[in-house]
Structure 1
Amino acid sequence: MDLPRSFTIREGDLRILNPFTSEKLATLGQAVRLRPGMSLLDLASGRGELLCTWARDHGISGTGVDISTVSTEAARVRALSLGVADRVDFVHGDAAGYVAATPVDVAACIGATWIGDGVAGTLQLLERSLRPGGMLLVGEPYWRIDPPDEETVRACYARTKDEFRSLPSLVGLFRDSGWDLVEMVLASQDSWDRYAAAHWLNLRTWLDGNPDDELAGELRQELTDDPLRYVRYVREHLGWGVFALMRR
């Protein structure tokens, strides 16, 4: 049980595996008013930057669950380097269906709502680990501009136009599901740029060092095509944000 090797190559040494900068991640932690002693479950936790930095900065504790062996090990190393390994734990496993043994103050899924077959299912999954009065954090793409054709939809990582919602539609889904939206932090075009462009340099660096690898042809084609696809379609059409929710 693991992610394909291409994911690890593409992400390189990135610590945040979504269109947030470290500054935006810090802003989110401050915005949701974390307090020492709070507990957090992070499903699809990636390399653990959210849990590790928030444990350092806000005194929380928590558990991260991720299917990637590389990310899980990187998260454990990060926890040691920040001196928070006694307060955060990282589990290698499938986050889909994972429920905390003890209810937590904050349950999060930042940019991986496929673990619940979409936003609505992920809200239900996260709530199973949440104490009464606790908070959910959900990271999700949304359409900034209505995509004009199927080519744009596919270029923005969606199988169909309905796979993502507009921002008003997404907020409406939260409301109709019985949740109050109490905070949000949105990626900017600049933070999207930083995330997307970092992949290109990671790919080029790896290709230069591994020209005969079995993945070299596939990743060479990705590096050739992705910059134009990103600036032509993704940058204008696709937004991304993290939304803090409390049960009404």
Structure 2
Amino acid sequence: MTSSENDLPPRLGGLTFHGPLSEARATRLIERLAATGPVDVLDIGCGWGELLLRVLEAAQGAKGVGIDINAEDLARGRELAEERGIADRVEFVEESALGTDRGPVDAILCLGSSQALCDPEQPHDPAAALRELRRLVRPGGRVVLGEGFWERTPTEAELAAMWPGAHVGDHFTLGALVDLAIEAGFRPAWIETASAEEWEEFESGYRYETEVWLAAHPDHPLAAETRERVDRQRATWLNGYRGVLGITYLTLVAVA
């Protein structure tokens, strides 16, 4: 088969959120955040900013900035903002979040992207990320943090099946993570965790369009590379972190 722009492997088009987050949970997160009447909202590692856009739709008059280093996702976010008629209230910026001066703000979204606040030359440090989030939010402001934690201690076999170099120190338990948030200057107003169904929706949705593409284009020049990548991703989940790695959504209030 010949290659063209229209038959390339799709990228994440089937996902609403880039993480295990259901519509029902997203609605609750947004309602709680919008009820505080934020004037300015910062989304760190925003991707295409679906949650940010929904917060701005719910919090009339609020303005938002989403920062990320993926230009393709940011372009998708700008298109979504135009479609929803709020492009004048949101800015999508291609830049690093490390040491950002885009605070202080009333509300911060940081879902699955706290590593963007940490030194890339050092191991991921949630404590350092939480201190940065506290620096970037005003007293009394809200942070919605989506962060990984160990549901239980992974076995050596499970670690070996996860991402390259995975080890027990990559994540904390949920209790230890909440303690770090308190130490950083927050009160944990709401603690919730992604369900098994949310994980399955995300993991399957992450690969769905690509799997369908592979079935239709088995001889495409990019098929072998794409198949290897997708099979590796799926095995990392099924044989590695499924039922072991959790995601918590913490609604944190900055202490005055």
TM-score by length of structure 2 reads 0.83
Alignment counterpart, residue 161 of structure 2, candidates 155, 158, 162: 155
Residue 202 of structure 1 pairs with residue 209 of structure 2: yes
Distance 2:225 2:167 in 1: 24
Structure with larger RCO (C-alpha < 8 A, sep 6+): 2
| Contact 1:16/1:22 (<8 A) preserved | no
Distance 1:37 1:137 in 2: 13
Summarize the Cα distance change of 1:39–1:96 in structure 2 as closer, same or farther, 3 Å threshold.
same
Distance 1:172 1:124 in 2: 13
Distance 1:97 1:84 in 2: 28
2:198 aligns to what? 191
SS at match of 1:243: strand
Amino acid at match of 1:62: G
* Structure 2: stretches of 5+ with no match in the other structure: 1-8, 119-124
2:91 aligns to what? 89
| Contact 1:107/1:137 (<8 A) preserved | yes
1:90-169 equivalences in 2 (<5 Å):
90-100=92-102, 103-117=104-118, 118-149=125-156, 151-157=157-163, 159-169=166-176
* Structure 1: stretches of 5+ with no match in the other structure: 1-7
Summarize the Cα distance change of 1:92–1:196 in structure 2 as closer, same or farther, 3 Å threshold.
same
Distance 1:57 1:33 in 2: 6
**What do the CA deviations read for 1:170-222 (whole angstroms, capped 9, x no partner)?**
112212333211113321110110110112222223434484445x3232123
Distance 2:192 2:63 in 1: 22
Summarize the Cα distance change of 1:177–1:124 in structure 2 as closer, same or farther, 3 Å threshold.
closer
Summarize the Cα distance change of 1:143–1:37 in structure 2 as closer, same or farther, 3 Å threshold.
closer
**Count of residues paired in the alignment:** 238
Summarize the Cα distance change of 1:225–1:144 in structure 2 as closer, same or farther, 3 Å threshold.
same
Summarize the Cα distance change of 1:37–1:182 in structure 2 as closer, same or farther, 3 Å threshold.
closer
Alignment counterpart, residue 66 of structure 2, candidates 59, 64, 69: 64
Q: Which protein shows a greater Rg?
A: 2
Alignment counterpart, residue 79 of structure 1, candidates 78, 81, 90: 81
Aligned-residue CA RMSD (Å): 2.3
Misfit runs of 4+, over 6 Å = none
2:122 aligns to what? none
Moved more, 73-82 or 166-175: 166-175
Distance 2:35 2:162 in 1: 33
2:4 aligns to what? none
Alignment counterpart, residue 217 of structure 1, candidates 219, 224, 227: 224
SS at match of 1:236: coil
1:39 aligns to what? 40
SS at match of 1:128: helix
Distance 1:240 1:88 in 2: 27
| Contact 1:99/1:128 (<8 A) preserved | no
**CA deviation after TM superposition for structure 1 residue 10, in Å:** 4.6
| Contact 1:107/1:127 (<8 A) preserved | no
1:177 aligns to what? 184
Distance 2:140 2:226 in 1: 46
Moved more, 156-165 or 64-73: 156-165
**CA deviation after TM superposition for structure 1 residue 104, in Å:** 1.0
TM-score by length of structure 1 reads 0.85
